[in-house]
Structures are given as structure tokens and as C-alpha cells.
Amino acid sequence: MAIFCYTAFVEKNYYTTIGLEIHAELKTATKMFCSCKNDPDEERPNVNICPVCTAQPGALPVINKKAVEQVIRVGLAIDGTIAEDFTEFDRKNYFYPDIPKGYQISQYKYPIVSGGELAQFKITRIHLEEDTGTSKHDKGDYSLVDFNRAGVPLMELVTEPHTFENPEEAAKAAGNFAREYQLLLWYLGASDANMEKGEMRVEVNVSVSTDPKKLNTYVEVKNINSVRAAERAIKYEVERMIKLMEEGKADEIVKETRGWDETKNKTFSQRRKEDSHDYRYFPDPDLPKLKLKELFNLAELKDNLPETPKEKRERYKLEAGVKDADIEIFIGNPKLSQFFEEVIANLGGNKEKIKVASNYITSDMAGHMKTDANFVFPHSEYFAELIDMVTENKITSRGAKDILEIMYTEDASPMTIATERNLLQVSDEGSLRTLAEGIILKHPNVAAEYKGGKESSLQFLIGQVMKESKGSANPQVAKQLLVDLLK
Ligand code: ZN
Ligand code: MN
């Protein structure tokens, strides 16, 4: 952000450096260290609990291998390095009512994944830990704790700091990253990553400096429950820091954790940030070190990864020639994208037809999906047939839209629907000629205007022919006929 300093008449540039920490709850059948159900939708408190996840004396944790596998898959998808010799779990000691053991089982020195890259950011690490319970403060002058979430597998990704020219760029990059990571987790089936439900939680480390090579004190912003909130929190925090620096109060920028207040649109101080030595990390003696290369077939896991959003984008562009904006509509909606792929297969790779199909899906169908809560996809073969019909001029584009509307509720082929409702395009001149003659007789004044040189009158007459034919007339043929008849 360029701020003019009027006393010295020099323009200072403030660089924004951000790093991201993203927690995501893994979609596993059971919790991280016990066999309790991992069910984010359970509303009754303290139903999915046992001696292990409520920390009863003598209870021993057992590692959930599926959860470890999910983290490995995410690591492989971002080209990270999977722990060479071993990975291990550590105790992160701190007290909070929702953490029954008095420590969280996490990973410190030997995370499952190191390095990698995603959406402009270098990845530092991805490690595995357990989620906390949830405290409820809404009952009265006391609080309640629900341990259903305690011990749910939680994956934490940490990025390297990245310096941007201004806060807008930083905010945009953070938003992109969060969205891209969320998509990746969806496509890998690793997490539902719903930010509003807290299944994915974004924290941003922000610092501001006039020297891009010198990193100043950073603050950590938490309580961010949407991608937009992440973007707004960064911009707010940078402005706050610049203001303090301009006022000569740079020493008031302290290493702290701040919360994002969604309603007030600002951050607020929560607590001074602990250093990692405050947590007194040490390897959990109850859990074995894991030699991942012996426990998993990493090559096979890599080979069996589904297509990533990035790979999908490239394929849609190259193989199907889909517009960039439309590609994002598909990528952002895995069900829509799966339907599109079925349609592509049904259209036998015909690029022109695939483009038309993409247009109908991203405009008409995506629009319809938004308004219809009970939306069911039509059969992809029927949809492909509709695209065949419209690209082969058997129906008009108006007719195709009408047929598609019917296909959402009626499980019939577009040909059947078109035949029953007389929507097949009439290109045959004989019947259209009669229709066109009738229109001219009905609108003698408009016909005269056209003869007198008013071109727009012809459009009106074509429109009338289309209307009279209920959209089934071929507009090119109708136009030619009218021009001939009015000579
Ligand atoms: Zn349990
Ligand atoms: Mn964590």
C-alpha cells in the first residue's frame, strides 16, 4: 500500500507477508486414537466418547492408519516429501477445558509431510493431530463441554511465509490458496472442509514491512470461518499495522493471537502468542514411531490418486476447449464436473459438441440447480442426445432450453419430448412459407415499413414466425423466406 508521508515527501511502500495455517478435520469412520465414531453431524453431546478420548486413567491410544494414509495422499498430491525414516507423535502440553488430557497429541519434529507446493505458496509441512472438544457458553452462568469432537483426526498444513507488494495481492492469494486446498481435499475425499461448520479452519500470520527482506513482528489471526473473511481479515490487519507504524507506534505491534470479528469487520486481541517451547513438546511414549515406507506402498498410493483440480483444469482446457470461467464453475462443483465428464464420454470426444454442452451445463443447468433444492441430474446419455440434436439443427437453441427444463422432471429422451411437444425444428420451406405469408398479412403496416427501408421491422416479423411456430422454425430459413416474400 502506497502511503504518502507529507513531511518528507517520500512515498513508502509497505510489503505484506503472510503465512497460512489450515486445520482440516479428516473424513474417517473413527477417531484418531480410539474406535469412537467420527461423526461431525452428531448433535447429542457426549455420545461418541470412550475412556481414550476422554482421557480416563490407563487408557491407551491406538493410531488410526486410515487417517495417516489420508495425510500421505494429500502430501503426495502437492508433491511433498513423505517422512523419510519415520514420523512420530508428540504431546503438546497446554490446559484448556476442552482438552481432557491436558495435552494434545500432535506432531512436532517429524511430521508426515514436508515441503510441496500449492497455489503460489510453498508448503512447510503437513502433520496429523487430534481435534479438541467443544465448549458451550450459551446455557447460563456456566459452561458445558462436549467431547464428541475430541480426538477427531485433524490435519494441519503450514505454508512458508510469502511476501506481496500490497495487502490486496496478499488477500487474494490467501483466498485462492484456501479455495484451492478445499477443492483438493474434496477431490481426494480427505475432508468435507466446510468452513462454516469448522471442518476447515484458516489462520493467517500477517506482518508488514517497508523492507521486503526484513520480516517484522507478525500477528496470528484466528476465528476465520470463510474465504472472504480471510481476505478481509488480512486487509484489516495490514491497515491497522501501517497506521501504528505511521504514527510512530510500531512497538505496539506485538506477537499475539487476534480474533476476527465477523460482525464488526475487525480483528481484536485475544492473547499473547506462546513460543513453541511453552508447549514442552516431547514424543508421546504411548505411541510407536511409524516407518511410513514400510507401512504403506507409497508408489501405489500415488498412482491411485484421483485427478487433482489443477489437472482437471488443464484437461478441460486442452481436451474440451472449455472457457476459463466455465472451468471454475465445474471445478467448484464436483457433482457438476462428474456429470460433464459423463456427457463428454457420451459425445465421443467431439470438441464442438462438448463446448456447446459446457455452455448449457454452466449456464442453464447450473442456474436451475441453484433454484431447485431437489435437483436431480438428467441421464447423461439423454443430455448428450440433446446436444446432438441442437448441434445438428434438429431443434433450435430456444427449443433445446425448453426441452432441458422438461428433462429435469421427466425421465424421457429429448427426441420423445420434442416429438410430443412439436419442438422439432421446421426447416422445410413449404410449411414455413404458409406461416410467413400469414404473418405478413397479419402485420401489413410492419411489412410496409420494412419495404420502406426499416430493417428492424424484419426482425419483428421473424420474431412473429418463431412465436407462431412455438420456436420450432429455423430462424435462418424464416428470414430468407420473409425477405423473398417482401421483395
Ligand atoms: Zn473415543
Ligand atoms: Mn494444530
Number of the ligand closest to the Cα of 61 = 1
pLDDT class of 82 with cuts at 50, 70, 90: very high
pLDDT class of 139 with cuts at 50, 70, 90: confident
CB 256 within 8 A of CB 273: yes
CA of 22 to the centre of ligand 2 (A): 8
Helices (H), 35-79: 65-77
- Asked whether residue 149 falls in the same domain as residue 276, the answer is yes
Task: Specify the pLDDT at position 60.
Answer: 96
Of 242, 269, 300, which residue constitutes the final position of a domain? Answer: 300
CA of 130 to the centre of ligand 1 (A): 11
Residues 6 or more apart in contact with residue 249 via CB below 8 angstroms: none
CA of 312 to the centre of ligand 1 (A): 38
Residues 411-421 have a mean pLDDT of 89
CA of 205 to the centre of ligand 2 (A): 14
How buried is 137 (Cβ within 10 angstroms: 0-12 exposed, 13-18 middle, 19+ buried)?
exposed
The yes-or-no verdict on residue 10 having pLDDT over 60 is no
CA of 298 to the centre of ligand 2 (A): 25
CA of 109 to the centre of ligand 2 (A): 14
Residues 6 or more apart in contact with residue 80 via CB below 8 angstroms: 113, 114, 115, 116, 123, 126
Instruction: Please compute Rg for the chain using Cα positions.
Output: 30
pLDDT class of 433 with cuts at 50, 70, 90: confident
Domain count for the chain: 3
CA of 39 to the centre of ligand 2 (A): 20
Cell of 86: 519415520
pLDDT tens digits for range 179-238: 999 999 999 999 999 999 999 999 999 999 998 888 888 999 998 999 999 999 999 999
pLDDT class of 8 with cuts at 50, 70, 90: very low
Judged by DSSP in three states, 198 sits in: coil
Residue bearing the bigger pLDDT, 252 or 432 = 252
Q: How many residues does the chain have?
A: 487
The yes-or-no verdict on residue 321 having pLDDT over 90 is no
Residue bearing the bigger pLDDT, 76 or 335 = 76
Kindly report which listed range (65-74, 108-117, 427-436) carries the lowest average pLDDT score: 427-436
CA of 87 to the centre of ligand 2 (A): 16
- Asked whether residue 274 falls in the same domain as residue 183, the answer is yes
Percent of the chain with pLDDT over 90: 75
The yes-or-no verdict on residue 99 having pLDDT over 90 is yes
- Asked whether residue 396 falls in the same domain as residue 468, the answer is no
For residues 7 and 76, give the distance between their C-alpha atoms in angstroms, rounded to a whole number.
Answer: 53
- Asked whether residue 243 falls in the same domain as residue 186, the answer is yes
- Asked whether residue 64 falls in the same domain as residue 150, the answer is yes
How buried is 101 (Cβ within 10 angstroms: 0-12 exposed, 13-18 middle, 19+ buried)?
middle
Helices (H), 111-256: 167-188, 227-246
- Asked whether residue 331 falls in the same domain as residue 226, the answer is no
Q: How far is CA 213 from CA 162, 210, 332, 334, 453, in A?
A: 11, 9, 36, 41, 70
CA of 295 to the centre of ligand 1 (A): 24
Cell of 128: 496429523
Task: Specify the pLDDT at position 140.
Answer: 86
pTM of the complete model: 0.83
CA of 129 to the centre of ligand 2 (A): 7
Residues 6 or more apart in contact with residue 3 via CB below 8 angstroms: 11, 12, 14, 242, 246
Of 363, 389, 420, which residue constitutes the final position of a domain? Answer: 420
Of 319, 317, 316, 350, the residue nearest 336 (C-alpha): 316
CA of 164 to the centre of ligand 2 (A): 25
Residue 438 belongs to domain spanning: 429-486
Residues 262-285 have a mean pLDDT of 88
- Asked whether residue 315 falls in the same domain as residue 199, the answer is no
How buried is 271 (Cβ within 10 angstroms: 0-12 exposed, 13-18 middle, 19+ buried)?
exposed
Residues 460-481 have a mean pLDDT of 86
CA of 45 to the centre of ligand 1 (A): 13
Judged by DSSP in three states, 283 sits in: strand
- Whose grid coordinates read 474465504? 227
CA of 113 to the centre of ligand 1 (A): 26
Number of the ligand closest to the Cα of 31 = 1
- Asked whether residue 133 falls in the same domain as residue 8, the answer is yes
Cα 325 to the center of its chain, rounded Å: 14
CA of 332 to the centre of ligand 2 (A): 27
Amino acid letter at 410?
E
Tell me what the pLDDT averaged over the chain comes to: 92
CA of 129 to the centre of ligand 1 (A): 15
CATH number reported for the structural domain that contains residue 433 in this entry = 1.10.10.410
Number of the ligand closest to the Cα of 51 = 1
Backbone angles phi, psi at 159, to 5 degrees: -100, 165
CA of 59 to the centre of ligand 1 (A): 10
- Asked whether residue 126 falls in the same domain as residue 220, the answer is yes
Diameter over CA atoms, the chain = 99
Task: Specify the pLDDT at position 399.
Answer: 86
How buried is 298 (Cβ within 10 angstroms: 0-12 exposed, 13-18 middle, 19+ buried)?
middle
Task: Specify the pLDDT at position 275.
Answer: 75
Residue 278 per-residue DSSP state: G
Of 278, 300, 322, which residue constitutes the final position of a domain? Answer: 300
- Asked whether residue 171 falls in the same domain as residue 231, the answer is yes
Number of the ligand closest to the Cα of 37 = 1
Task: Specify the pLDDT at position 297.
Answer: 98
Residues 256-281 have a mean pLDDT of 88
The count of other CB atoms within 10 Å of the CB of residue 53 is 27
For residues 86 and 16, give the distance between their C-alpha atoms in angstroms, rounded to a whole number.
Answer: 36
Amino acid letter at 431?
S
Number of the ligand closest to the Cα of 25 = 2
Task: Specify the pLDDT at position 9.
Answer: 46
CA of 144 to the centre of ligand 1 (A): 18
- Asked whether residue 336 falls in the same domain as residue 451, the answer is no
Cell of 64: 488410526
Number of the ligand closest to the Cα of 21 = 2
Number of the ligand closest to the Cα of 64 = 1
The yes-or-no verdict on residue 288 having pLDDT over 50 is yes
- Asked whether residue 452 falls in the same domain as residue 357, the answer is no
CA of 165 to the centre of ligand 2 (A): 29
CA of 47 to the centre of ligand 1 (A): 10
For residues 24 and 182, give the distance between their C-alpha atoms in angstroms, rounded to a whole number.
Answer: 9
pLDDT tens digits for range 347-372: 988 889 999 999 999 999 988 988 98
CA of 461 to the centre of ligand 1 (A): 74
